[in-house]
Structure formats: C-alpha cells, structure tokens
Structure 1
C-alpha cells in the first residue's frame, strides 16, 4: 500500500517511481485535485496538464488526467513543456494546472507541481494536505475515483510559440550587441524551450550565437544530472565557455524553471548577483517598487535595492512564501539563492528564462564583459549552502543559539545570527531530511572561512 505522506512535500509531490508512487496514485491525486478545485466558489471547468521528458511522465500525466475527467472537469493537455511554460498557460488562460516533473532530481524520481488559476501556488497549507488526504482515502479503498461520474472533455493545445512570444515581449533584445553563449540544457526541458525563446525556431532570430550542450531530451540524464546547483554539473559548461570564447554560459535544471550563469572566464555568477541585476532593471521600469529576497540572499541585494529607490522585503526560503509575499505586496520581482526568479509580469511565478533574457539585455546593452558587470552586484563572500546530517535538528539549533546569544538573532526561518562587522550566518532544518543547512556571508574570504569552520565544528561536533 502506498503512503502518500512520503511523497507529498511542502510545495509539491516528489518521489521515486514506481516504488513510492505510480499511475494509480497519479489518478487518485488527479481525482482529489479536481474535487478540491470544484469546492472553490470561482472554480474553473478545465485543468491544464504538462509534463517533462522523464520516461514515466506521459503515463503519470495521463492517469492524473483520468482522475480529473472522472470528476467532470475538462483536461487541456499542452504536452511537453517546462514548469514556467505551465505557469504561463495557467496565467494567460486563467486555469489551474499540473506540471509533471521532478525538477533536478535523478531519473528514478517524478513529481507534480500544482497551481490554481492564474499560476497561484498550492502548498501544504493551501490545499496540498487536503489533496493528499483525499487521494490516500481513495487508494485505501482500492479505487482511484468514484464510479459512475461524468467524463470531462479532453483536448491538446500547443502553447510553445505563444509562451516564447510572451517572454520576448517582456524584454527588448533587438538593440543589443552580438553575443555568443553556451547553454547546457542537461538533457532537460531547456532543450525544448531555449530554441523557441532564444533561438529562431518559432520567432525571428536574435543577435545571439548559441552553442548547445545536451539539448537532446533524455530523462535518464546520460551526461550529468540536470542540477546546476551542484558545482560538478557546471564543469562541462565552464569548459565549453572557455573553449568557444563565449560571452557567458547558462545552465538550466531539468524542468527549466531555474537558470544558472557563468561568466566569460567560466566562473559562476551567484544567483544573488543576478537578483541584484534584475532588480535594478525592474526598478528602472517601476520606480519605488517592492523587491522580495529570501533570507539567504546576499546582503548586497537589499543594499542595491535601496540604492535604486526600491523597497526590499525579506522572506522565508521557498516558492510558496515568496509568491505569497509577492502577491500581498504587489512586488515587481523576487529572487532566491537557489536561482528561482519571480516576476509580477509573469503572474508572480518563477521563470529562469525571463531572468536570462534580462541578463542578456543588460550585458548586450554595454561593452564590458560579464565578469566586470557582475562585480557591481557581488559585494561579499559567501559559503554557499552546506548540508550536515544532524539527527536532533532542534537540539542543535538551540545549542547554536546559546553559543551566539550575545549577537543579533532572528528566527524567521531557522536561526539567523548577525555580527557587528556585518557578517551573518543562517542555519535552518530541511523539511524532508535530517539535515541542517548552513549559509555564511562576510566581507572577505578569511572572515567567512573562519566563521564557516567555527559553525561546522559546532554543528558536527
């Protein structure tokens, strides 16, 4: 018997196929999703479904669609797509949606990211827990959906060209200087969306020369995992950028909603720097606007936002928190340390592709190399996220709090410690594993290294 509590996470569904979930679970989840939607006073009569290139994705998506249709709702299948392409469809058509993907996880995983109409997120507190309970009850009774219900309609719609045109319409690249870029799609959905948005597959060509790496859709990830957050998965991109003399390199994760950047030297550009760069561009269009940043983003981000007349707002880590704050404050842009970038012009949803367009415009509108441009937004030295296995996470957090009690503390998300010299550390527990995640930032590498090692000794000691 399947236990859906193992796969229904804080923000989405994620687990291994077929041992943790299969098409029976997908149909039950589809039924439960439709039942949840029908309860809403402004419910829609159709649901959008898209899926990535994983071998299990089409079958899981089809089973989910059976559950939806069994509840009398129609299904609009958009076929292959990136997660941000599903958000586009949900926004422009004002319909709820489900994206079948496990993002950056290995090949044996799959998952579902669900949203309400207008790309509004669904998390544990906004419907996901209820979906899990309803679906578990169906599975426990040995049925995916009630018998005798009407069957909703089904249609197929191709939205790739419309998605590409929408993004192109948000950032003007027509006047930029010619740029050469290497793009590593990691055999994920970037291989499907990049030619449409940045290439000339469906729209007029841009002044870009693209060197493609691993654009072939292959959910077994034969070259490397589609997880650019792991430095090992950036090596091929870094080598190719230097080999081809490119102006920059871009790497997308499996569902192509996150975009990582390396400069002309092959050196990574931090997501905090990209957040600062895009924030400046958005503030030029919307003076005085609010910019959201999570608490692990560099201190440079709120400094830069204030310097350009904006209002920075600090948020917990996680897309459901960011999107809620974006909607509540009508923020124009939000950025996370994990390379998720959120835009008011994109229904407050995240899209790495739109962030990439902003970066290309900023680079192409001036003559300096990316390494020099990025220096404006890189002011501090950070450790990156370091995970430690800790069985008693609460106990260890309490110990760290006692040790650093004389410093400035806050507990918005885990524990953040701020020191008089501007250095800070954040230690927060994983939602799904016995891990503590450490981030450290300081004004120079010596201070950051000393503080990092001090904390790791305490955490692991």
Structure 2
C-alpha cells in the first residue's frame, strides 16, 4: 500500500510497511482505498478484533461503497480464521448494524466512511449491545496487533474455523424502531427524503412502509460514487436540492440522511433547515413524556440554550458534555439517560442501546408533526428560541496563541464566565460562544449563540477578528 497524497500513511516505523497511525482514528478506522488500506489489511483487522475482544461470534454489515463488500468479506475471513462465527447482514445503515448488535447481543463491524468521498472507506466497531470501541476500549490494541502481523506475518489460525451465515435484519430493524414511537393516528403527510445515494435509500422505504406518508424520494439509488452531491447534510450546499423539492412539492417537511444514514437533518415546509438543537429539544420533550415526565437528557456544549431549558420544563435533568459520540455514550451509560443529542444531528436513545439513530429521531418528528394540524415551522418555533452562528472554522497557524488572545480579551470582562470542558466556552448575560481546536487539522471552531441576531453577529465578528488576526 502506497502513501496517499496527503502523506498520512507515510511510514514512520518499519520501512516498507504501512503506518496505521493515519488510518486508525480515535473512534474508528477510516482511510483511502487502496492507498491506505486494502482487503489483506481488513483481514488482519478481523483477526485482531477477535483476539482483542475475545468475540466468539459477531455481526458484520456494510454500506454501498464499491469497496465495501470486498473489505467486509475480508474482515469476516480474518475473524472466522480465529474461530469466531460471523453473521453477515449485507447492505445496511450504521444504525441498522447497531440494531443487529443490540438485538442479537453480538459484537459488530460496520464498513462505511459515512459522508467521506467515494475513495474512502472505514470500520465502525462495537462490542455486544452496540457498546462503542475506541482508542481506549480496544482500538489501539487492534492497531498494534495488525502492525505486528504486518511485520512478522499473519496470525496462526485457530483450531476451529468459524462459520459464516447470512441474515436480513432490515424488516426487524424497521419494526423495532416503529415500536418506540406512537405513530398510530397521525394525519397524512407528504415528506421529501434526500438519501444522497446513501443507505437511506435502502432503509427508508421499509421503515416508512405502512405509515400514512406520501414519500417523494431523492437520490435513492445506492451509489457509493455519490454522483449527485456529497452525502453530508451538514454542508448547506448538499441541502439545496431537498429544499427546492420540498417547496416545489408543497411537502410538509424534508429529511436528509448522510452516507451511512445514521444522521438525519430536517427542513420545514418552507424549505428552511431546522436546527439540530431544535430537533434535540423536541425529541427530548417527547422521550420525557414517554418516560413519565422524568429522566436525564445528555447534550453537548454546542447545542442551544433551548435544549436544557426544554428538558427542565418537561421534568427532566439536562447533563452537558463534550462534543463527540464517545462522550455522549459514556454519559448515557453513566447516568442512565433516556436520550442524548448533538449539534451535528446525532441522536442517541437509551432504548436503542445508547446508540445513535437518525431514523428514530425522524420518526419522532413525523409523529410530532402528524399529531397536530399546524406546519412544522410553527411546531419547532417553541424549541428554537435563540440565534446561532453555526460552526465557523478558521485556519490558524497557532491554535493555542489565538485561543489565549480570545481568553485574555473576554476573560477580563465583567459578568463573563469561562469554562474549559471542551475548548473555551464564554458565557455572558445574553450570549455564549465556544472556541475549540480541531484535533486533526490546524483549525479553530467557533460557535456563537445570542438572544437576538444583532448581538450574535456583533459577538461573532469580534471573536473572529481575534482568531484571524
């Protein structure tokens, strides 16, 4: 395997061997195929996963990328060679893999690179019950074993070769999701769904079957080359087609899924994007009601002030955490939380093994809209109380120096508090902002929220002037 054009797989260890430091990330495996990794390496990852976790059986699924069937098959070969039985569920969304891991009580491996371009692929790993595997929970050990075998030769096969079976979990996944949301009696709705040629095109027809919905599909053809637009709804450019189609169809709402369909973005009947914080607040209120008006709800520190306010108003206890699914899932498990949400449109549910599923969040939105006669814009207004900047990235040569400049300016102001849970968060009487460094790029990420647009814009521009000085 050659180094890719960015040099992220340039060897730093044994000459002639690939360096896995740029491939094995904090929470998953992700890189360019075949430059950074290929099927022989995927086979080693499968063997290492068995040895590190002690798995006797596992479930393996994959997305629609051209390299996914081969990579997932190689992983399965490595696992069975170490004696583990493998259940292949084939094409699936990431949350469908989590469903299989939870329902079958098996460790799992999902082959996907989410919203990354076509030449990328990756693996999201979990233990039984969809418990995540990251650097501190096995991923670093998997990398070390793979590196050892790359240098010294493949591992010795187990005395017993594991079996391979195939199982279709799509219908069971859809039925389980619909059992968690009261959808009986909702009024008929027209919904435009942009799958971005990703796995939403596979899951949505089955999940929505039997519901009083007129479905208008956009880019449901599974195509891992993404011929229409990137499968990344976090970028507003990738919502243009959906917003136009919602208005053209006179639809009640639009939904956009990312490549592996674990994130869901919502637009209202006007074609206007709905803040993921507003969706978090709406779903939190519904989950609290479903649990008798009590429960803990996790939110990261970049979600709107609206989220903890709505949680408290509905009898719940909000818990603030760092950005990132590993922190959300840790807090979900620690606190017994019923729900968690992030500004990036990841939504986590206790009744889904604390894993994230955008599809379940989408069903909650459909139920909430269909239970009342008004438009979605009116419904979500109660959950969208402030003005936010969205995330603004600035390329800087000195992350620490620029952060220090911002701290010196705002930390000295009367009535302003600062905390360091994740980067720097400054809070004033009618505003807050968070500035945090990227772990992988020379970027500072800024999020600003205020009670009105002029205050937000003034504060945003003031901070950016310091960051970009």
State the TM bucket, normalised to the shorter chain.
over 0.9
SS of 1:241 mapped into structure 2:
helix
1:14-163 correspondence to structure 2 within 5 Å = 14-38=30-54, 44-141=55-152, 143-147=153-157, 150-163=160-173
Q: What is the aligned-residue RMSD (CA, Å)?
A: 1.1
Kept after mapping to 1: 8 A contact 2:45/2:146? yes
Matching residue within 230, 239, 245 for 1:234: 239
Kept after mapping to 1: 8 A contact 2:298/2:331? yes
Superposed CA deviations along residues 372-423 of structure 1, whole A, max 9, x for unmatched, are 001000000111111111232223222222222223111111111111x231
1:433 partnered with 2:441: yes
Kept after mapping to 2: 8 A contact 1:70/1:145? no
1:155-174 correspondence to structure 2 within 5 Å = 155-174=165-184
- Deviation of residue 149 (structure 1)? 5.1
User: What TM-score comes out, normalization by structure 2 length?
Assistant: 0.94
Kept after mapping to 1: 8 A contact 2:278/2:307? yes
- Deviation of residue 147 (structure 1)? 4.7
1:172-183 correspondence to structure 2 within 5 Å = 172-183=182-193
Paired with 1:230 and 1:332, the residues of 2 have a C-alpha distance of 29
Residue number in structure 2 paired with 1:244? 249
Q: 1:138 to 1:302 in 2, by over 3 A?
A: same
SS of 1:404 mapped into structure 2:
helix
Kept after mapping to 2: 8 A contact 1:24/1:144? no
Superposed CA deviations along residues 262-301 of structure 1, whole A, max 9, x for unmatched, are 0000000000000000000011121220000000000110
Kept after mapping to 1: 8 A contact 2:58/2:87? yes
Kept after mapping to 2: 8 A contact 1:70/1:152? yes
1:460 partnered with 2:460: no
Aligned length: 449
Matching residue within 278, 292, 297 for 2:303: 297
Unmatched runs of 5 consecutive residues or more in structure 1: 39-43
Paired with 1:269 and 1:14, the residues of 2 have a C-alpha distance of 30
Matching residue within 405, 409, 419 for 1:410: 419
1:263 partnered with 2:268: yes
SS of 2:168 mapped into structure 1:
coil
Paired with 2:277 and 2:104, the residues of 1 have a C-alpha distance of 32
Matching residue within 310, 321, 332 for 1:315: 321
1:365 partnered with 2:371: yes
Paired with 2:360 and 2:155, the residues of 1 have a C-alpha distance of 39
Paired with 1:301 and 1:453, the residues of 2 have a C-alpha distance of 25
Kept after mapping to 2: 8 A contact 1:91/1:119? yes
Paired with 1:132 and 1:149, the residues of 2 have a C-alpha distance of 24
Paired with 1:417 and 1:426, the residues of 2 have a C-alpha distance of 6
SS of 2:351 mapped into structure 1:
helix
- Deviation of residue 148 (structure 1)? 6.2
Residue number in structure 2 paired with 1:41? none
Paired with 2:146 and 2:58, the residues of 1 have a C-alpha distance of 17
User: What TM-score comes out, normalization by structure 1 length?
Assistant: 0.96
- Deviation of residue 326 (structure 1)? 0.3
SS of 1:350 mapped into structure 2:
coil
Residue number in structure 1 paired with 2:454? 446
1:394-409 correspondence to structure 2 within 5 Å = 394-406=400-412, 407-409=416-418
Paired with 2:30 and 2:443, the residues of 1 have a C-alpha distance of 18
Superposed CA deviations along residues 51-78 of structure 1, whole A, max 9, x for unmatched, are 0000010111011111111211111100
SS of 1:276 mapped into structure 2:
helix
Kept after mapping to 1: 8 A contact 2:437/2:445? yes
Paired with 2:442 and 2:37, the residues of 1 have a C-alpha distance of 22
Q: 1:148 to 1:128 in 2, by over 3 A?
A: closer
SS of 1:9 mapped into structure 2:
coil
Paired with 1:375 and 1:293, the residues of 2 have a C-alpha distance of 19
Paired with 1:159 and 1:148, the residues of 2 have a C-alpha distance of 29
SS of 2:411 mapped into structure 1:
coil
- Deviation of residue 175 (structure 1)? 0.3
Between 443-452 and 238-247, the greater mean CA deviation after superposition:
443-452
Higher relative contact order (CA 8 A, sep 6+): 1
Q: 1:315 to 1:368 in 2, by over 3 A?
A: same
Kept after mapping to 1: 8 A contact 2:341/2:348? yes
